[in-house]
Chains A and B, each alone.
Chain A
């Protein structure tokens, strides 16, 4: 029996001092505890101990999902898309493309940063304009990453920042398993956990998006794009992850 389960002994221990407590504990409480060598102790599952058949854990949320602080958000963008400084990334996003991005300072207010000059507080919730800005920035970042990782002059797999997987041969369409393997890489990168632990329809939703955009871009009247159909489809998957509610709320 555990000493703590013998309140009288504990009380005496407090009153009479540690020596008396120790003697009392041995004399009064240790009858049921065999003094066997520890190597002979059997290990049993916790659930087999009476009273421990089920251990309840309350995993429900205790507060509303909160918006990730804006500084953290920018840091996430920077680290996921190459670990550059804000100015370096801005320069890279503006290079060679039209209307892809302008400057971070144009979006600080829209992203919810406080403006102490105008006495505007930090945004604590998303709004439609913020989501529009998330989309603008997400499109710029994903387009550039897809171009660098999956484009004609794709980087080596080890040098890639986002799309760290091999693309199938051009003629071979991706099946669910092939998509899931690659999507899992992105899912871990953006949302920090394996897709197997996500809600069951996540792969279904993203795979449907992938196939939809791939098919649309493979069509003859798809329009003029500088990317391949697969590149566009993976860029769209990237948009979905970098703007996912789980990316912005916690």
Chain B
């Protein structure tokens, strides 16, 4: 009996393995085929340093033994447009929460409050880390670092790999925790990682004294042919294939039509107000956001990832933490307005904004208590925001405990009740784009509660 059971089990196992073997590549190929026809764009924004959720997404206005709410004692409130005093302790004031539908915000939300009906707010995200690199890559890859190195591809690379199509730049990363990890990723989706657009612009500058653009294009064409010849005699082709593709990309980058895309002066003239570019915290970053808008308008990218810095505020620099949040979310709001006003590059009559999916994350959040230096330290809770037509807007999911701001169970997952975690969010985002999360993620479950009905 036991023998029969074992045989039956082995038969089932081999049949399953065979079906996987047969169906796997085919279904993957079909998925890749259908995905390659995507008209959607993906934007990943990481607020590096760890943001204070009590100032914007998970507002706290009551002091407890552990929680010190943001107050006039530790926050420069004069520059926070949405700060309205509320009583806290004697002359010290906290803020009046801003309510929009089901959502409650702190004053750090800034201009993004106007888009509250589009926001999917995920609070109480369990980070299980208070290390900057670990939290950063956990947010972008859904895996903790191993030996200090990422062990899975980041979400921007995943969507580029699945949906790149013929895009000139499948993924452009501006100081984002991008990770190109794994042997099955397409060499086409190797990220273009830079600090700013200026880095690209400078690399494309050429003197015209000995040769001109046409001559250099001829050289690139010849190099592409040389790479093809070498490919023909190579058994291991990934590096050379990548080289050949990049030469082709360079030819297009050097062309006239994409020139303004890499000029920071042209980008500053194209989107946002001058005040945005002169911002104290995110002024330089705004150029990268402008690049994102222009690149999407030209259908030149599939996935773009950006970082807004300056949130690591352990001491008196915490006083301006709220202002940094406000400026960051003002920038995101300006970005959304620019997308609202732009037509989709390939879908006639469609708005760009209806095909853009944005995920905003941070390393983790900051402690609910103020430390002896007047700042807040690292805390293993977090908030993430998704702005996507595929997600339910004006919705909040997950929560933190009232007593200590730690994540609390947000639902029952396959492994039982637990708080939502970054892999769940990444799995949900990939799934919403028609990508099988298991193709890229080891962990994470799709949270259907935040997805719109198809």
Q: CB within 8 Å of B: which residues of A? A: 60-61, 63-67, 97-100, 102, 106-107, 109-110, 118-120, 125-133, 135-136, 139-140, 142-143, 146-147, 199, 201-202, 205-206, 208-209, 212-213, 216-217, 223, 225-227, 231-232, 235-236, 239-240, 243-246, 248-249
Task: In the A-B complex, list the 7 residue pairs whose CB atoms are closest, starting with the nearest.
Answer: A132-B203, A65-B239, A128-B249, A100-B207, A143-B210, A128-B246, A227-B210
Q: How far is the CA of A64 from the CA of B193 in the complex (A)?
A: 22
Q: How large is the interface on B (under 10, 10 to 19, 20 to 34, 35 or more residues)?
A: 35 or more
Q: How far is the CA of A127 from the CA of B242 in the complex (A)?
A: 8
Contact A223 B212 (CB under 8 A): yes
A contact residues around B223 at 8 Å (CB): 240, 243-245
B contact residues around A235 at 8 Å (CB): 210-211
A contact residues around B210 at 8 Å (CB): 139, 142-143, 146-147, 225-227, 231-232, 235
Q: B206 near A: Cβ within 8 Å?
A: yes
A contact residues around B249 at 8 Å (CB): 128, 131
Contact B243 A245 (CB under 8 A): yes
Contact B234 A61 (CB under 8 A): yes
Q: What is the CB-to-nearest-CB distance from B177 to chain A, in angstroms, rounded to a whole number?
A: 9
List residues 177-235 of chain B with CB under 8 A from any CB of chain A.
Answer: 187, 190-195, 199-200, 202-212, 214-216, 218-220, 222-223, 225-227, 229-230, 233-235
Contact A119 B200 (CB under 8 A): no
Q: How far is the CA of A152 from the CA of B209 in the complex (A)?
A: 15
Given contacts A98-B207, A131-B247, A206-B222, contact A199 B202 (CB under 8 A): no
Q: How far is the CA of A63 from the CA of B211 in the complex (A)?
A: 37
Contact A127 B206 (CB under 8 A): no
The residue that A127 contacts in the complex, of B190, B204, B214, B215, with Cβ under 8 A, is B190
A contact residues around B195 at 8 Å (CB): 109, 118
Contact A128 B218 (CB under 8 A): no
Complex: chain B residue closest to A237, CB-CB: B219
Contact A127 B239 (CB under 8 A): no
Q: B240 near A: Cβ within 8 Å?
A: yes
Q: What is the CB-to-nearest-CB distance from A183 to chain B, in angstroms, rounded to a whole number?
A: 13
Q: B389 near A: Cβ within 8 Å?
A: no
Given contacts A65-B236, A136-B203, contact A128 B230 (CB under 8 A): no
Q: What is the CB-to-nearest-CB distance from B227 to chain A, in angstroms, rounded to a whole number?
A: 5
Given contacts A64-B236, A64-B239, A140-B207, contact A106 B226 (CB under 8 A): no
Q: B314 near A: Cβ within 8 Å?
A: no
Given contacts A212-B218, A236-B218, contact A202 B206 (CB under 8 A): no
Among B169, B194, B250: residue with most chain A CB under 10 A: B250
Q: B34 near A: Cβ within 8 Å?
A: no
Q: B316 near A: Cβ within 8 Å?
A: no
Contact B193 A245 (CB under 8 A): no
Q: B121 near A: Cβ within 8 Å?
A: no
Q: How far is the CA of A140 from the CA of B206 in the complex (A)?
A: 8
The residue that A135 contacts in the complex, of B191, B208, B216, with Cβ under 8 A, is B216
Given contacts A65-B234, A131-B246, contact A125 B225 (CB under 8 A): no
B contact residues around A107 at 8 Å (CB): 202-203
Q: B273 near A: Cβ within 8 Å?
A: no
Q: How far is the CA of A205 from the CA of B205 in the complex (A)?
A: 26
A contact residues around B202 at 8 Å (CB): 102, 106-107, 136
Q: How far is the CA of A144 from the CA of B223 in the complex (A)?
A: 21
Q: What is the CB-to-nearest-CB distance from A234 to chain B, in angstroms, rounded to a whole number?
A: 10
Q: B253 near A: Cβ within 8 Å?
A: yes
Q: How far is the CA of A129 from the CA of B202 in the complex (A)?
A: 10
Given contacts A118-B195, A119-B133, A131-B246, contact A139 B233 (CB under 8 A): no
Q: How far is the CA of A180 from the CA of B215 in the complex (A)?
A: 21
B contact residues around A209 at 8 Å (CB): 218-219, 222
Contact B219 A243 (CB under 8 A): yes
Given contacts A65-B239, A126-B242, contact A110 B203 (CB under 8 A): yes
Q: B27 near A: Cβ within 8 Å?
A: no
13 contacts between A and B (CB under 8 A): A64-B236, A109-B195, A126-B246, A139-B206, A139-B211, A142-B210, A143-B210, A201-B229, A209-B218, A225-B212, A240-B222, A245-B230, A248-B243
